[in-house]
Amino acid sequence: MVPAASSKRVHELWTREGHTGVDPAMTDSGPRLGERLPRRETYRHGDLRRALLRAGVELARDGGPDAVVLREATRRVGVAPNAAYRHFTDRQALLEAVCAVAQSELAVAMEDQMAQVGTPGENPGEEAAWARLRAVGHGYLRFARLEPGLFRTAFSVPGDMSLARDPELAGQSGNTAFQLLSSTLDELAETGALSRERRVGAEVLAWSAVHGLATLLIDGPLREADPDTAEAMGARVISMVEQGL
Amino acid sequence: MVPAASSKRVHELWTREGHTGVDPAMTDSGPRLGERLPRRETYRHGDLRRALLRAGVELARDGGPDAVVLREATRRVGVAPNAAYRHFTDRQALLEAVCAVAQSELAVAMEDQMAQVGTPGENPGEEAAWARLRAVGHGYLRFARLEPGLFRTAFSVPGDMSLARDPELAGQSGNTAFQLLSSTLDELAETGALSRERRVGAEVLAWSAVHGLATLLIDGPLREADPDTAEAMGARVISMVEQGL
DNA sequence: TGTACATCAGTGAACGCGCGTTCACTGATGTAC
DNA sequence: TGTACATCAGTGAACGCGCGTTCACTGATGTAC
């Protein structure tokens, strides 16, 4: 519909190799970042890669990773099934791109919660650091409950800790979900709230607790829990982490 | 091959409606429970339902819930694809039966760990109660790491906490995984190690932490961790639960 | 005890489905002269 | 500025695959007489 801004440079900013944080085009559709004049307004389609990615994200949102079906994405965009192969080598490549978006959105959800506490610069001290840790956890749980399909997609693609710092998976601050957790724990160590010894490997402790609750709530036996109960469980799990660290 | 013992009563003991604990026929193949003489040695096949279930469990073991493919199960048993419909209403019914076996095996894995500590009768007191709680967690993690396919299958079928006490999902003691956790926490409350207030909802805390680590280790970003690291992470998560409860 | 019959576990063939992917193509776009 | 040409994004048709499921059947088993 609306042709996207697309000098090659700008175009690349919004494709797999370049973006940081959640691609605004996943929700908007107007031209972006007009620092350079677009050399042309459209390709044949306009910007099929991004359109397919957006369709893939919607599929993941509604049905998780298995719902990211290449033919359905092309159908939604109004294009022949094989057109996708101009932009993704195969279905797996599309799924991986969608997964990266999902991870970015997770990081953004965590940043949103953290913003309510303020940055360490704005709001220093031990108690604020603990509050930021709680915000990390609540953001994670909130995203899982509000976007279960994307949450599942974020963890669906083979990939290990080597990606934990991949800027492609980052939120608006340029940090990934893992980095947000990690730097908050660093801060707790710096304020002295956490001994050096206890700091080591603390990521796994916090992450396990919150990830487990998220999984049990959205896919597991706790899936029938109402939002208030889920919220209360989240608060208790997070408080267990605080005490147990 | 080997015809199974099968008076109607005995037969039902090993089918969906009747069994407790892990069906030994999932691993053995000889006749069982000979208290009654079999009225006949075989059906056409012998005992197709159980054979299909066993094949389904092997598929789940190797590839998780998605690998439980009805046609493949019949192929392995050496029977026409539609023969399965004499014993399962559809593929979902087979998957649910496999899921029940997986949950039983999880409970058994936990019982095995707990047996090393001894029952509350054999080994009473607060410290032993904590040791039993650690055993519950280690059994859970051990099963996830040794049988990731079955672990994923155990949590793959829609079903909520109303099944938490379903004898069909129980281990050898007749308790489900959830009941093993729950009664261990009860014991901690009785010895005074856990106040009434902290006892409430404690299942979710312990379960979340351990389930989260299991998920991250087998399907998630920690999947590359070597066994020793995984073991150490498990110990730390469990110790966090102890301190955080 | 022997025979006719009913049951129902398993067969054989076929169905429609939707998927991912490949092929040779076409025609709008951007570029070289 | 105008024309010929190369590029390559998207087309149209088709492929093979494996799945779950349905149908009318057959023939061994257990039962009624």
For residue B14, pLDDT beyond 60: no
Structure token pair of residue A138: 């609540």
Q: Mean pLDDT in chain B? A: 86
Q: Which nucleotides of C are covered by protein (CB under 7 A)?
A: 8-14, 18-24, 28-30
By C-alpha distance, the chain B residue nearest A178 is B221
Mean pLDDT of A16-29: 44
Q: What pLDDT band is residue A43 in, cutting at 50, 70 and 90?
A: low
Residue B49: nearest nucleotide (C-alpha to C1')? C9
Instruction: Note whether A205 contacts B237, CB cutoff 8 Å.
Output: yes
pLDDT digits (tens, 9 = 90+) for B182-207: 999 999 999 999 999 999 999 999 99
Q: Report the percentage of chain B scoring pLDDT > 90.
A: 78
Q: What pLDDT band is residue B27 in, cutting at 50, 70 and 90?
A: very low
pLDDT digits (tens, 9 = 90+) for A162-180: 899 999 999 999 999 999 9
Across A1-15, B16-30, B107-121, the highest mean pLDDT is recorded for: B107-121
Supply the Cα-derived Rg of chain A in whole angstroms.
20
- Please provide the DSSP assignment of chain A as one string: -PPPP--HHHHHHTSTTT--SS-GGGT--S---TTS--S-S--SSS-HHHHHHHHHHHHHHHH-GGG--HHHHHHHHTS-GGGGGGT-SSHHHHHHHHHHHHHHHHHHHHHHHHHTT--TTTS-SHHHHHHHHHHHHHHHHHHHHH-HHHHHHHTTS---GGGTT-GGG--TTS--HHHHHHHHHHHHHHTTSS-HHHHTTHHHHHHHHHHHHHHHHHTSTTTT--HHHHHHHHHHHHHHHHHH-
Cα gap B19→B11, rounded to integer Å = 10
Taking a C-beta distance cutoff of 8 angstroms, is the pair B80, B149 a contact? no
Instruction: Note whether A221 contacts B164, CB cutoff 8 Å.
Output: yes
Taking a C-beta distance cutoff of 8 angstroms, is the pair B205, B242 a contact? no
Collect all residues of chain B within an 8 Å Cβ-Cβ radius of residue A208: 209-210, 212-213, 216, 233, 237
Q: What is the pLDDT of residue A29?
A: 38
For residue B135, pLDDT beyond 80: yes
Cα gap B76→A194, rounded to integer Å = 55
Q: Which nucleotides of D are covered by protein (CB under 7 A)?
A: 8-14, 18-24, 28-30
**In angstroms, what separates the C-alpha of A181 from chain B's closest C-alpha?**
15
Residue B74: nearest nucleotide (C-alpha to C1')? C10
Collect all residues of chain A within an 8 Å Cβ-Cβ radius of residue B233: 201, 204, 208
Mean pLDDT of B36-43: 38
From the list A179, A200, A173, A204, the residue with the least C-alpha distance to A189 is A200
For residue B32, pLDDT beyond 60: no
pLDDT digits (tens, 9 = 90+) for B53-68: 999 999 999 999 999 9
Mean pLDDT of A195-221: 97
φ, ψ of residue B139 in degrees (nearest 5): -65, -40
* Distance, CA of A27 to C1' of C19, in Å: 28
Instruction: Note whether A224 contacts B160, CB cutoff 8 Å.
Output: yes
**CB < 7 Å to strand C — which of 55-74 in chain A?**
69-72
B6 or B188: which leads in pLDDT: B188
pTM of the model: 0.86
Mean pLDDT lowest among A115-119, A213-217, B163-167? B163-167
For residue A16, pLDDT beyond 70: no
Structure token pair of residue A84: 């996708």
B190 or A24: which leads in pLDDT: B190
CA–CA distances in Å: residue B205 to residues A172, A198, A232: 31, 20, 11
Q: What pLDDT band is residue A157 in, cutting at 50, 70 and 90?
A: confident
A48 interfacial to chain B (CB closer than 8 Å)? no
Instruction: Note whether A221 contacts B158, CB cutoff 8 Å.
Output: no
Of B205, B240, B242, the CB nearest to A236: B205
Cα gap B210→A211, rounded to integer Å = 10
Residue B47: nearest nucleotide (C-alpha to C1')? C9
A35 interfacial to chain B (CB closer than 8 Å)? no
For residue A26, pLDDT beyond 70: no
* Distance, CA of A72 to C1' of C17, in Å: 14
| C22 C1' closest Cα residue | A82
pLDDT digits (tens, 9 = 90+) for A54-74: 999 999 999 999 999 999 999
For residue A32, pLDDT beyond 70: no
B27 interfacial to chain A (CB closer than 8 Å)? no
B30 or B162: which leads in pLDDT: B162
Collect all residues of chain A within an 8 Å Cβ-Cβ radius of residue B177: none
Q: What is the pLDDT of residue B158?
A: 78
Q: What is the pLDDT of residue B159?
A: 82
B227 interfacial to chain A (CB closer than 8 Å)? no
CB contacts < 8 Å between A and B, how many? 115
- Please provide the DSSP assignment of B181-232 as one string: HHHHHHHHHHTTSS-HHHHTTHHHHHHHHHHHHHHHHHTSTTTT--HHHHHH
Mean pLDDT of A188-202: 97
φ, ψ of residue B115 in degrees (nearest 5): -60, -25
Collect all residues of chain B within an 8 Å Cβ-Cβ radius of residue A160: 221-224
Mean pLDDT of B160-166: 90
B228 interfacial to chain A (CB closer than 8 Å)? no
By C-alpha distance, the chain B residue nearest A241 is B244
Of B163, B211, B239, the CB nearest to A212: B211
Determine the Cα angle at A243 with ends B233 and A118, to 5°: 100
Q: What pLDDT band is residue A159 in, cutting at 50, 70 and 90?
A: confident
Half-sphere exposure of B139 (CA within 13 A, CB side): 27
B47 or B216: which leads in pLDDT: B216
SS3 A202: helix
Taking a C-beta distance cutoff of 8 angstroms, is the pair A7, A39 a contact? yes
From the list A127, A236, A133, the residue with the least C-alpha distance to A183 is A133
Taking a C-beta distance cutoff of 8 angstroms, is the pair A202, A244 a contact? no
pLDDT digits (tens, 9 = 90+) for A118-139: 999 999 999 999 999 999 999 9
Q: What pLDDT band is residue B46 in, cutting at 50, 70 and 90?
A: confident
**In angstroms, what separates the C-alpha of A239 from chain B's closest C-alpha?**
8
A67 interfacial to chain B (CB closer than 8 Å)? no
Cβ-proximal residues to A193 (8 Å cutoff; 6+ apart), any chain = A126, A129, A130
Q: What is the pLDDT of residue A13?
A: 29
Q: Does the CA dihedral B17-B21-B23-B24 come out positive or negative?
A: negative
A39 touches strand C (CB under 7 A): yes
